[in-house]
């Protein structure tokens, strides 16, 4: 999608919001898949459930991504302007991604990372 000036309609900020959304969806999917093992279903049932969760998560992520990206760009810009000190949006995204890194490490029992 190109806008009037020939550049893509997806700003770097929206791309980062999209990446953050996908990472959160990955954690949710992992937690759902762990619950499936507790059900003691036959392997074919577990496989079908995991496939359904994957399709649902990816389809849901696409819809949510579109909604979140539009709202997040406006909301983040507003919140960044209200801070008592100037903070580049890249710093805010770095903080979110660092938090997601810790979350992933904890979910997969890889924390502490050393």
pLDDT digits (tens, 9 = 90+) for 39-81: 788 888 888 887 887 777 777 766 776 677 667 767 777 777 7
Q: What is the pLDDT of residue 52?
A: 82
Helix, coil or strand: residue 114: coil
Q: What is the pLDDT of residue 71?
A: 77
Q: Which pLDDT band holds residue 10 (cuts at 50, 70, 90)?
A: low
CA atoms within 13 A on the CB side of 113: 6
Which residue matches tokens 């079908």?
48
Compute the 3-state secondary structure of the chain and give helix, strand, coil in percent, each to the nearest 5: 75, 0, 20
Helix, coil or strand: residue 8: strand
Q: Residue 21, Cβ neighbours under 10 Å: how many? A: 20
Q: Which pLDDT band holds residue 2 (cuts at 50, 70, 90)?
A: very low
């Amino acid at each position: 999608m190109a806008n009037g000036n020939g550049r893509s309609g997806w700003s770097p900020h929206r791309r980062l919001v999209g990446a953050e959304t996908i990472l959160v969806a990955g954690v949710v999917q992992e937690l759902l898949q762990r619950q499936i093992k507790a059900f003691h279903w036959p392997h074919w049932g577990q496989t079908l459930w995991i496939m359904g969760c994957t399709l649902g998560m990816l389809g849901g992520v696409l819809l949510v991504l579109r909604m979140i990206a539009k709202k997040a760009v406006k909301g983040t810009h507003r919140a960044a302007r209200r801070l008592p000190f100037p903070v580049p949006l890249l710093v805010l995204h770095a903080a979110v991604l660092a938090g997601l890194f810790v979350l992933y490490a904890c979910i997969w029992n890889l924390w502490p990372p050393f």
